[in-house]
A and B are shown apart, each in its own frame.
Chain A
Amino acid sequence: MFPRTDARTVADDGDTLHFCSTCAFSQACLSEGMDKQELLDLHVLVEHVGPLHANDHVFRKGDPFDAIAAVRAGTVKTYVVDREGHERVLGFHLPGEVIGLDAIDGNAYPCNAIALDIVTLCRFSFPRMAELAARAPGLQQHLFRLLSRDIGAAMRMAGDWSADQRMAAFLLGLSQRLATRGFSARRFQLTMARTDIGNYLRLAPETVSRVLKRFQDDGLIVIDRREVDLTDVGRLQALAAPILQN
């Protein structure tokens, strides 16, 4: 594989004994004293899904809910379509992050999930996961934490912020999330189209480009096609501070 792709999208694959490097649950499990062998013995884990390609659906709204999935590689977009037929982007899910959590209190997925590039996933049967969580409080807490983090992210963007503030918070958010999984915090791919970014941040696509161009002219970032390099994290943080503190 091409070196640059390799560095930015591919996680270390686990094996029968070791978790994948981007696993969403490895830490919670390990802190409960459960290693992968033990999980296998409990028949909880793990079905590897994919690779899916850009525009393949992971699940659709209304599909019966039986599993949550953790992204191993690539980016997944979740969205709904409103009554007028307009798409509303709910979020972008990066390696190590979990999709399907918002289905927990129902029997069907409340949104669509679609691959934005080449995506691989781990699928967890939710009934089994819930069973396990009941026996392992640490894992249960972790699930709740993931759930509230999702809600928190959506709430923060809903405020009355300027386009520059939203964009700075968005870029820093991606950077932090990627860094958590061992990817570069400074240089990464914007795998989502500008219409998706605009939809998520409630900005017109032209505004997305205008703001990014201004950031670039001001030396905050450098954009090369889909790749962004955060060249002045300090000033981005200052811009995003009101949102991130909220």
Chain B
Amino acid sequence: MPLNPAFDAALLGRYDRPGPRYTSYPTSPQFSMDFDERALREAVRESNGDPIPRLLSIYVHVPFCQSPCFFCGCNRIITRDPYRADAYLARLHREIALSAAMFDRDREVVQLHFGGGTPNFLSTTQLRDVVDALRRQFRFSSRSDNDVSIELDPRWMSPDDVRALADIGFNRASLGVQDFDPAVQAAVNRHQSAEETLGIIDACRRYGLRSINVDLIYGLPKQSRDGFAATLEKVLAARPDRLAVYSYAHLPDLFKPQQRIDAADLPSPETKLMLLQLAIDKLGSAGYTYIGMDHFALPDDDLALAQARGSLHRNFMGYTTHADTDLVGLGVSAISHIGASFSQNPRDLSTWQAAIDEGHLPVVRGVRLSEDDQLRADLIQQLMCQGEIPVSALERRYAIAFGDYFRDALVRLRPLIDDGLVRVDADRIVATSQGRLLLRNIAMCFDRYLDRPGIPLKFSRAI
């Protein structure tokens, strides 16, 4: 069972440098245009041939948003024109048919997630059509722990919509909040009252959704200790099952919307760390468990229980209780993880549409994992989920001598050991309570692809 994180501002400041979030390994800069439709079909065929094929997760990307939030680094399209959704959905339905036809009929779906953009840009009728199409063409498991989840922007929906979502079968919701402080909301162009947000949370409970997550962000422009403390108190009063507290990464060259944020309004690194400490303290005293990588959960939530059992997993959609599923990504920019491959759809709408209109799977880039990649991916996954690297288990599984195989990585790990972020035991390498907030710095030691010693700045910073 991992420890709760300890907060050491000096240490965190020192390790606050750019690095991948490891939602995949290899990370997306390693994806190559050589990975085409044929490669994806081959990966699916191979995955169907496993003695016990993996269960499936499905991710559906809805790229539209009614209004631009300036902090956003997601792939989205700003429009108020509801008819744009019709053209998108026509292609999405075709992509569902193309994709579903590849998978053997006994491969059950245990997880379905709608992300964005703003999935509730779609009407509940449109969402129902998509879910129905998926249910018809894939085989959904009847297990009681199936997750059907959706990211919601509370500003563009009513409590009645939640009733419809529950009726469609959604059992988890994730609400974007970021910060209730009006000064911050003005600076990021996201005006959202606590009342409408809490109203949606109430409706989620009323209509029987199993779990509610709330997203907050620290490091936003105009953010202050008092303002963020008030936000945390309001959110904690509603007691969501899960909380994600993300660090804002200001990369205006990479994410155009961020150019509208005045860098002078951003909190200093010290203030930013203070905001993180505030969140950790308040969540800790409210009884939340730290899961890892910005995520917290109540101790009786499935994620916390799975972590205690050692059965927590993580994929592009975040932490999950479902073991190693194959992930089918649908929609513009969506990422799939099938067998030993990652692949991604086009990030721009017109390329994605054109491929589908020509009857092709719209994959544009990807990577086939070598055995070395698979080993490192496994190692990083264990670190992110359990807060430790199970050395002996990896040696058995991959027939390696850990010390020899990872000689270079262990040299890079040395300063982290000296700083007390990791402890090396006989059969495992453990992130200490100081190291728990710096899991990605530990993972970076085992990443074969990072340019060394200077790491390219296209990654966000650790804190």
Contacts and interface: CB of A to CB of B under 8 A. Distances in A.
A4 B51 contact: no
Contacts of A224: 397
Contacts of A216: 52
Contact of B51 (A2, A3, A5, A208): A208
Interface residues of B, number: 18
B50 A194 contact: yes
Given A2-B370, A2-B372, A223 B52 contact: yes
Interface string A1-38: 01111010000000000000000000000000000000
Given A2-B372, A205-B104, A194 B399 contact: no
Interface string A205-222: 110110011001000000
Given A3-B400, A4-B399, A206-B106, A213 B52 contact: yes
A83 interface: no
Give the most central of B46, B48, B50: most A CB within 10 Å.
Answer: B50
A7 B52 contact: no
A192 B46 CA distance: 10
Interface residues of A, number: 24
A225 interface: yes
Interface in A153-203: 190, 192-197
A209 B51 contact: yes
B53 interface: yes
Contacts of B52: 209, 212-213, 216, 223
Contacts of A205: 104, 106
A224 B396 CA distance: 12
A135 interface: no
Interface in B92-132: 104-106
B398 interface: yes
B399 A195 contact: no
Chain A contact residues, majority secondary structure: helix
A226 interface: yes
B49 interface: yes
A4 B49 contact: no
A228 interface: yes
A195 B50 CA distance: 9
Contact of B371 (A5, A194, A196, A197): A5
Contacts of B53: 194, 209
B106 A195 contact: no
Contacts of A5: 371
Contacts of A193: 46, 48-49
B371 A195 contact: no
Contacts of B372: 2
Interface in B371-418: 371-372, 397-400, 405
A194 B51 contact: yes
Q: Which of B46, B52, B106, B371 gathers most chain A CB within 10 Å?
A: B52
A225 to B, nearest CB: 6
A4 B104 contact: no
A205 B106 CA distance: 9
Given A193-B48, A213-B52, A228-B51, A7 B397 contact: no
Contacts of B49: 192-196
B51 A223 contact: yes
Contacts of B105: 206
B382 to A, nearest CB: 14
Contacts of B46: 193
Contact of B50 (A7, A196, A226): A226
B134 to A, nearest CB: 21
Nearest to B339: A225
A4 B50 contact: no
Central interface residue in A212, A224, A225, by most chain B CB within 10 Å:
A225
A194 B400 CA distance: 28
B106 A4 contact: no
Nearest to B45: A193
Given A4-B371, A205-B104, A206-B106, A197 B399 contact: no
A53 to B, nearest CB: 12
A193 B49 CA distance: 4
Contacts of B104: 205-206
Nearest to B400: A3
Nearest to A206: B106
A190 B51 contact: yes
Nearest to A184: B399
A223 B400 CA distance: 19
B357 to A, nearest CB: 31
A144 B398 CA distance: 39
Nearest to B404: A3
Interface string B225-238: 00000000000000
A190 B53 CA distance: 13
Q: Which of A3, A213, A223, A228 has the most CB of B within 10 A?
A: A3
Nearest to A191: B49
B106 A209 contact: yes
A197 B400 contact: no
A212 B106 contact: no
Contacts of B48: 193-195
A19 to B, nearest CB: 26
Nearest to B371: A2
A2 B405 CA distance: 10
Interface string B67-91: 0000000000000000000000000
Contact of A3 (B50, B106, B399): B399
A228 B50 CA distance: 11
Nearest to B54: A225
Nearest to A167: B51
Contacts of B371: 2, 4-5
Contacts of A7: 399
Most chain B beta-carbon contacts within 10 A, residue among A190, A223, A226, A228: A226
A124 to B, nearest CB: 31
B398 A3 contact: yes
Interface in A108-160: none
A205 B50 CA distance: 10
Given A3-B400, A3-B405, A209-B53, 10 more contacts: A7-B399, A190-B51, A194-B48, A194-B51, A194-B53, A206-B104, A209-B52, A223-B51, A223-B52, A226-B51
9 contacts: A2-B398, A4-B371, A7-B399, A194-B48, A196-B49, A197-B51, A206-B106, A208-B51, A209-B106
Query: What are the 8 closest A-B residue pairs judged by CB atoms, nearest first?
Result: A193-B49, A2-B371, A4-B399, A206-B106, A3-B399, A209-B52, A212-B51, A3-B400
